[in-house]
Structure 1
Amino acid sequence: MRPVKKTNHAKTPLYLLILLIFLLSLFFIPNIPSNPFSKALGTPIDSLNGVKVYYNGSIKNVAGRSLGPGQNNFGLKYQCVEFVKRYYYEHLHHKMPDTYGHAKDFFIPNLADGALNSQRALTQHHNPSQFQPQVNDLLVYSPTLFNPYGHVAIVAEVQANTIEIIQQNPGRWGRSRQRYQLSQENGRWLIHKKRILGWLRKKK
């Protein structure tokens, strides 16, 4: 009888660990210019109402500070915050009183649904809210293990049961557009994405 060849399973976790480290590095290391799969930082990849979304590669990349007219601080290029503040300024002609802070700082947890967020001069709505999301609303996402700063995006389209968002800096291979389910339950509108804390809106 031929001897049974033993398989060394001890090496398997090591291979998985190496693979995991490699995959994570693709998202967090800076872009390598010689990498044929990388776009150049600052390459326009999308737009909404004439306001461009720029490619940023790894979510931690920073290419200087983005300043508008009168040294208005839009944020760090080409982070998610930079896009939403630039969008609100260029398309909605809205300048936020507080031009600093991470994405998560855009949402004040203890503020009532529909109350004024004085730091941004926008009304704030929780997810879920009695107020239905609208085009141009600014969505605020909670932090994650790999992104402690949170995330922000703009509502680009609202349908009966879905919304589409546009975002900057979703990651090296992330998409600038995503679609989420939307429903009304017990008189409150819910975006079916756990990370979404709520949305901000400019009063008409």
Structure 2
Amino acid sequence: MRIIAFALASVTPSLAIAYGEVLGNFGGVTVYSNANPPSGSNGGDYQCVEYVRRYYDEVYDLDLRALYTGNANTWYANAATMNLSSYANGSTTRPEVGDILTSTGGTFGHVAIVSSVTDTQVCVAQQNFDNDENDSDGTHCRDMTGNATQGYTVSALGAGGGYAVQGWLRQQHTPTTETLQTRAWGAIEWYPQSTQSCSSATRWWKDGIETSSSVCGEITTFCSVSSPNVPESNNRFQAWWRTAREFFSSLKLLFGTYASACSQTTVLRTISVPSSSSVPNSIVAGNGAFPSHAVGYGSGALITSAASSGQPDFVAKSVVLKDSGDKERYAFALGNTVKVAAKFKNEGTANSPQAIEIRYYRSNGQKEDAHSDWVRVATSTIQASNMKVGDTHTENIQFTAPSTIGTYNIVACADRTQDSNNGDGQVVEKHESNNCSKEAVFTVARRTPEDRKKFLRNIMQTIND
């Protein structure tokens, strides 16, 4: 069954551009005409809500449709359902570029994306309103009065003022969950690690899918690592023993019922954990006795600083590590080439005024060292043309893995020109606390797990020959 959310258009159909034609774009997201939709299309494919959902999906990686499917005039009341903050018209919180302006006008209401803001007006990009270039070129502007003390009031949309503005919605910057990737030493994970025990944990996963505490029964001491604090890559016998168990379990030659908990020890999985946790070492992975050292990509940092209006905001979204063949990997051998793909986004309300410097730092262990102890491994530059409002850009660099076995992490930082005591950088931003990613954690060993399994495969092949 197809669920359609509606908003009425205020245009006279004869003046509109043909249905499905491109009207323009804002923030790199195309605006289409919804004039005279074809019969049987349930009001057309290019409703106002379709554009707003597509904008948030492409610009903010937020799937609003998966969270809420109601009509435009119900969005304001259901903002929390969509992980959005709501600000009533007249609020002391000023509208910003990228906000969703909501209205109760017409039968189904209307939603639009704020495209620009001054002290006296708010302009929007939208679909299914005039269904001409005005919907995308920034000329749909309404008066705004007030200030941070009195509150900001935006006048109604539409020539006759028939679309009264309820308020504006904004992406929340402190979500309750955060998608993480962890390379687990086993098929079963739980959270938090401080419990030291699967049965006393609060959340559980098997093969990346959340489940219940019953999964703890599948973990046996047979699959436990022998040390709670030393990564297996630091113990040659332990690493080979783990590889042998995984290799033969996958072939179903040995270990029988233990295969479930012992197999797939280096499969990269995606799971969600509370954003307030210390990651990635907050996850216990496939271990019946101790927290094991999980590794995985570096996610975006949470905002801790106060906002400055009318500024860009360079956000480190993720740091992914790859091998020389561009395969995502978080276990390397001594001297291997480590490739880094760091994604940044301008989530502010102004374009970057200049090119920004990106610096990449390595430190020891699961968590980054004090900044004065960072080891800078690379530097790159993002041009101002790639950091306009809403732009996402990925930088790619590489470095050589350390010559000492152990666990390490990498962070990537935007607008950083000093290795320590960087202050607020060169560019004034909406937030200064989210320029650096969280840690992408990786291990360095004499051999990678893949190298060890290849060695065992060669032995089996020799025996078979």
8 Å Cα contact 2:17/2:132 also seen in 1: no
Provide the secondary structure at the position in 2 that maps to 1:88.
helix
Runs of 5+ unmatched residues, structure 2: 1-9, 174-465
Runs of 5+ unmatched residues, structure 1: 1-23, 28-34, 66-74, 112-116
8 Å Cα contact 2:102/2:110 also seen in 1: yes
1:135 aligns with 2:97: yes
Alignment counterpart, residue 60 of structure 2, candidates 92, 95, 98: 92
Instruction: Give a deviation string over 1:38-85, Cα, whole Å, max 9, x none.
Output: 643211112111100001114x668859xxxxxxxxx96110000000
Alignment counterpart, residue 203 of structure 1, candidates 156, 172, 181: 172
Judging changes above 3 Å, is the alpha-carbon distance between structure 1 residues 51 and 86 closer, same or farther for their aligned structure 2 residues?
same
8 Å Cα contact 1:62/1:77 also seen in 2: no
How many residue pairs align between the two structures?
Answer: 153
Task: State, as a whole percentage, how many aligned pairs show the same letter.
Answer: 27
Provide the secondary structure at the position in 2 that maps to 1:91.
helix
8 Å Cα contact 1:51/1:90 also seen in 2: yes
Cα deviation, residue 91, structure 1: 0.9
Which residue in 1 is equivalent to 2:150?
187
Judging changes above 3 Å, is the alpha-carbon distance between structure 1 residues 169 and 187 closer, same or farther for their aligned structure 2 residues?
same
Q: TM-score, normalised by structure 2?
A: 0.30
For the residues of structure 2 that align with 1:85 and 1:101, how far apart are their CA atoms? 12
Judging changes above 3 Å, is the alpha-carbon distance between structure 1 residues 136 and 25 closer, same or farther for their aligned structure 2 residues?
closer
Q: TM-score, normalised by structure 1?
A: 0.65
Provide the secondary structure at the position in 1 that maps to 2:134.
coil
For the residues of structure 2 that align with 1:76 and 1:105, how far apart are their CA atoms? 19
8 Å Cα contact 1:128/1:190 also seen in 2: yes
| Aligned Cα root-mean-square deviation (Å) | 2.9
For the residues of structure 2 that align with 1:62 and 1:79, how far apart are their CA atoms? 15
Q: Which amino acid aligns with 2:54?
A: R
For the residues of structure 2 that align with 1:136 and 1:51, how far apart are their CA atoms? 12
For the residues of structure 2 that align with 1:118 and 1:83, how far apart are their CA atoms? 20
Instruction: Give a deviation string over 1:116-167, Cα, whole Å, max 9, x none.
Output: x3221100010011100000000111132xxx00011000001121111111
For the residues of structure 1 that align with 2:75 and 2:22, how far apart are their CA atoms? 25
Q: Which amino acid aligns with 1:189?
A: Y
Asked which structure has the greater CA Rg, the reply is 2
Judging changes above 3 Å, is the alpha-carbon distance between structure 1 residues 63 and 131 closer, same or farther for their aligned structure 2 residues?
farther
131-140 or 160-169, which deviates more: 160-169
Q: Which amino acid aligns with 1:182?
A: M
1:166 aligns with 2:125: yes
For the residues of structure 2 that align with 1:25 and 1:124, how far apart are their CA atoms? 28
Which residue in 1 is equivalent to 2:34?
56
Higher relative contact order (CA 8 A, sep 6+): 1
Q: Which amino acid aligns with 1:179?
A: C
For the residues of structure 2 that align with 1:167 and 1:25, how far apart are their CA atoms? 13
Provide the secondary structure at the position in 2 that maps to 1:175.
helix
